[in-house]
């Protein structure tokens, strides 16, 4: 991401056009031929070669030499396309410091054109290893040729969909503002992970709030988080909460919904037992969340 920020302001519209052409053609080619890039971008092939050279120098594309010369986007190039779209749509006007790095996302501070502070979450599925293959299968089924860029895009789309459902219901989640490619723009999050909290004025009540939010998500939203733990619950200074990181959500009618809900509860109850000495009845909580 840092690479994209450094070169973004140097990019010309022609650079963006070439990046966009490669992106579209990656659906058909593992490595996109230069001739096809020129045709898709509606540019002279000599001009395209010049801009490909620039993009390669900026490390936004990867050049491949085989039976023909081809190019693919890398994550930096994909970042630039998403940033360009969000700027053009007047969603963001400035990007600030990095707020955090997760296993599958980078998070940045940003401003909207009217000065509102927001968060940019760049999904990075597959960055660490192939441990995400199980989730990838949920996203893309049996597709044989699927790039990690596309999978990251689907991850962001799924998270945005969940937030669009849950936020209007009053579930304690960030406000969804915009989505483009692998980037989700949400309201600013000001707090720390529950895993870092040593004391709560009312830990029993806080746990109750978590359960209540899971119930609303389940009963009214038809959603199970499916990856809930103490690292994706944010605690603010006044001990309000936000539940974040929703790309792995499943519908309540999914065959594994109850198993995943049980796992979410086990993770949370284990944390509250070890950190605050609170015991909770998993079966009772499960029935309550499901509205039984």
CATH number at residue 216: 1.10.510.10
64 and 110 assigned to the same domain: no
Residue 126 lies in a domain: yes
159 and 238 assigned to the same domain: no
**CATH code of the domain in which 9 resides:** 1.10.10.10
Residue 272 lies in a domain: yes
Residue 83 lies in a domain: no
Residue 43 lies in a domain: yes
Q: What is the pLDDT of residue 5?
A: 77
Residue 84 lies in a domain: no
What is the Rg, in whole angstroms, of the alpha carbon atoms belonging to the chain? Answer: 22
206 and 259 assigned to the same domain: yes
135 and 170 assigned to the same domain: yes
Residue 80 lies in a domain: no
Spatial contact of 159 and 246, defined as CB atoms under 8 Å apart? yes
Q: 227 catalytic, yes or no? A: yes
Residue 164 lies in a domain: yes
Spatial contact of 233 and 272, defined as CB atoms under 8 Å apart? no
Residue ending a domain, among 43, 74, 105, is: 74
206 and 231 assigned to the same domain: yes
- Residue 19: domain span: 2-74
10 and 63 assigned to the same domain: yes
Residue 8 lies in a domain: yes
Average pLDDT, the chain: 91
102 and 55 assigned to the same domain: no
Q: What is the pLDDT of residue 132?
A: 46
| Distance between CA atoms of residues 172 and 263, nearest Å | 20
The parts of the chain modelled with pLDDT lower than 50 are 128-145
Options 227, 238, 245, 281, the catalytic residue: 227
Write the pLDDT tens digit of every residue in 21-79: 999 999 899 999 999 999 999 999 999 999 999 999 999 999 999 999 999 999 999 99
Task: Give the rounded percent of residues in the chain with a pLDDT score beyond 70.
Answer: 91
**CATH code of the domain in which 104 resides:** 3.30.200.20
Contacts of 269 (CB under 8 A, 6+ apart): 280, 282, 285
C-alpha dihedral, 34 to 40 to 45 to 47, nearest 10°: -110
Tokens 């994909």 label which residue?
78
273 and 223 assigned to the same domain: yes
148 and 129 assigned to the same domain: yes
Q: What is the pLDDT of residue 2?
A: 63
Residue ending a domain, among 155, 187, 219, is: 187
218 and 283 assigned to the same domain: yes
- Put the strands of the sheet holding 105-111 in their side by side order: 94-101, 105-111, 117-123, 183-187, 176-180
Residue ending a domain, among 163, 187, 211, is: 187
59 and 102 assigned to the same domain: no
Domain count, the chain: 3
Orientation of helix 133-140 relative to helix 148-166, angle to 10°: 70
210 and 179 assigned to the same domain: no
Does the pTM surpass 0.85? The reply is yes
């Amino acid at each position: 991401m840092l690479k994209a920020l450094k070169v973004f302001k140097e990019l010309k519209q022609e650079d963006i056009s070439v990046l966009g052409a490669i992106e579209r053609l990656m659906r058909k080619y593992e490595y996109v031929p230069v001739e096809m890039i020129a045709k898709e971008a509606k540019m002279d092939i000599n001009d395209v070669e010049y801009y490909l050279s620039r993009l390669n120098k900026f490390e936004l594309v990867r050049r491949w030499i085989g039976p023909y010369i081809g190019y693919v986007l890398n994550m930096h190039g994909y970042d630039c396309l998403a940033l360009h779209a969000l700027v053009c749509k007047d969603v963001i006007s400035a990007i600030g410091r990095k707020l955090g790095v997760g296993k599958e996302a980078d998070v940045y501070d940003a401003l909207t054109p009217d000065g509102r502070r927001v968060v940019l979450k760049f999904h990075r599925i597959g960055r660490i290893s192939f441990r995400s293959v199980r989730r990838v299968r949920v996203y893309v089924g049996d597709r044989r040729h699927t790039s990690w860029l596309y999978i990251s895009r689907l991850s962001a789309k799924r998270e945005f969909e969940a937030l669009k459902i849950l936020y209007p219901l009053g579930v304690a989640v960030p406000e969804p503002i915009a989505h483009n490619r692998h980037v989700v723009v949400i309201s600013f999050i000001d707090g720390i992970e529950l895993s870092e909290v040593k004391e709560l004025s009312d830990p029993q009540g806080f746990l109750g709030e978590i359960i209540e939010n899971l119930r609303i998500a389940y009963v009214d939203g038809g959603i199970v988080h499916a990856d809930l733990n103490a690292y994706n619950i944010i605690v603010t200074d006044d001990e309000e909460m936000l539940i974040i990181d929703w790309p792995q959500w499943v519908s309540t009618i999914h065959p594994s919904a109850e198993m995943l809900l049980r796992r979410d509860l086990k993770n949370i109850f284990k944390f509250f037992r070890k950190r605050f000495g609170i015991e909770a009845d998993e079966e009772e909580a499960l029935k309550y969340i499901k509205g039984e």
